[in-house]
Amino acid sequence: MNLVNALNLSYLLASVLFIVGLKQLGHPKTATKGNILGAVGMFIAVVATLFDQQIISYEWIAIGIAIGSIIGIILAIKIQMTAMPQLVAVLNGFGGIASVLVAGSALQISIPKYEYLVNYQEIISIVFSAIIGGVTFSGSFIAFGKLQGLVTEKAVRYPGDQVVKIIVGLACIGLGVYSTLYPTNEPIYWILSAISLLLGILLVVPIGGADMPVVISLLNSYSGIAASATGFVLNNNVLIIAGSLVGASGIILTQIMCKAMNRSLTNVLFGGFGAVASEMKDDGDFYHGKIKSTSAEEVAMLLDIARTVVIVPGYGMAVAQAQHAVRDLYQLLTARGIDVTFAIHPVAGRMPGHMNVLLAEADIPYDRLKEMDEINSTFENVDLVIVNGANDVTNPLAKTDPKSPIAGMPILDVDKAKTVVVIKRSLSPGFAGVPNPLFIADNCLMLFGDGKKATQEMINALKES
């Protein structure tokens, strides 16, 4: 067997492992095994590539591996679970800029032969890598900045912003066509890459915080498409397949997220939803003094007589790093014979599956996590719902006010439960910037405070009861 056949067989095996691993990631019970299969597939692909005779210098590869490994180890140790959305955004960005640089290097190598014969598959792939990779890189880092608080979470809009985006997009297309027709003009490639970076900024800056889960999912898809385009540049089959899998799965996830918000992708990208509303005082006129505050001791009394409890996690729980305290509460209630489940909204948190990741880290059993469609029909029979740091995903205005920014968005019907306890620092609105009528519902009690501290106080009160 020659080297080329051995490489292709190795890439085929790696691709099969990617596909099987991706399939197993679809269920929590097999997700760990799916991750392992994917990692093994990537290991095989990397090792096989190192045997490619087109590799010139192993020294630079070793240096790159060393630097990347050090950065990866530091990130793995330092990054908190609450900052995982930011990390995902950064990793998407790195994937995008890698495609730009690799395609640029390939162009430099190919320019001499382009003087005689142009490989249009290669040059078109190089152009796609520049555009998609550039948009992914800058867009991902703007998303990171919004999530980290370095860039305003508001949807930044200005007169004629859509026109500006169209002009910059057309400039990218025009330069891309020029690069395809005149590939020996290398500076045009880097100008195209720079304008693509600008387009990524213009596309993400107008999107507000509430839409960040959708944006991260979409940018993840972009990074896969950029990788696949780079695979065509390098004639690397496994890169084409892996990038296609990431791109396709990212698009599918983006559609699922948009459906969960009852919004189209076009509306997310160009509608400016998710802007943080003007600051609203805790005693805002909307609530008219109808808020009913409670205490941990009173909630403990309610839990003592409850038979069914549903916990709704939100980004406030993530910020408070309350997932382990929530796990302790779950174990205490379960030990008392109370049926406890967790209601998961698809867009709760800052990235797809954010709440699932946090609860899995705290060793909450997978079978206790219920998706919105599964649990909504059961709320009428629930004795007590504890909302820990969630807001927009429980807001009844989505169903009752057609003019609301979240109108039509499917929500968790917690208001149908017998009693609802909302743990929240204040009455400030969520990312959508609208008040929540749930807070003044007859069956709702507000437990003001940090999600972790409030949960621990409930645990202490339960133990003393």
CA atoms within 13 A on the CB side of 172: 23
Measured between alpha carbons, how far is 98 from 233 in angstroms, rounded to an integer?
13
Contact indicator for 342, 374 with CB cutoff of 8 Å: no
CA-CA distance, 20 to 450, in Å (whole number)? 41
How many angstroms separate the most distant Cα atoms in the chain?
86
**Is the C-alpha dihedral spanning 340, 346, 350, 352 positive or negative?**
positive
Closest by alpha carbon to 415, among 448, 393, 389?
Answer: 393
Contact 280, 429 (CB under 8 A): yes
Per annotation, catalytic residue among 392, 413, 415, 450: 392
The single residue listed with the structure tokens 């915080």 is 209
What's the rounded Cα separation, in Å, for the pair 45 and 132? 24
Distances 97 to 132, 144, 165, 349 between C-alpha atoms, Å: 9, 15, 21, 27
Task: Tell me the DSSP string of 206-219.
Answer: TS-GGGHHHHHHHH
Cα four-point dihedral sign 219, 346, 287, 294: negative
Following DSSP, what letter does each residue of 304-340 receive, concatenated? HH-SEEEEEE-HHHHHTT-HHHHHHHHHHHHHTT-EE
Is 392 assigned a catalytic role?
A: yes
Kindly state the DSSP code that residue 275 receives in the 8-state scheme. Answer: P
**Closest residue by Cα to residue 146 from 104, 93, 208, 84:** 208
Strands (E) in 249-338, as ranges, are 308-313
The answer to whether the CB of 273 falls within 8 A of the CB of 210 is yes
Angle of helix 237-260 relative to helix 3-24, nearest 10 degrees, comes to 20
Print burial letters for 210-224: b (CB count within 10 Å at least 16), e (below 16).
bbbbbbbbbbbbbbb
Question: Cα(157)–Cα(147) distance, rounded to whole angstroms?
Answer: 18
Which one-letter DSSP state was computed for residue 349? S
Q: Which residues contact 90 (CB under 8 A, 6 or more apart)?
A: 140, 141, 144
Active-site amino acid positions: 392
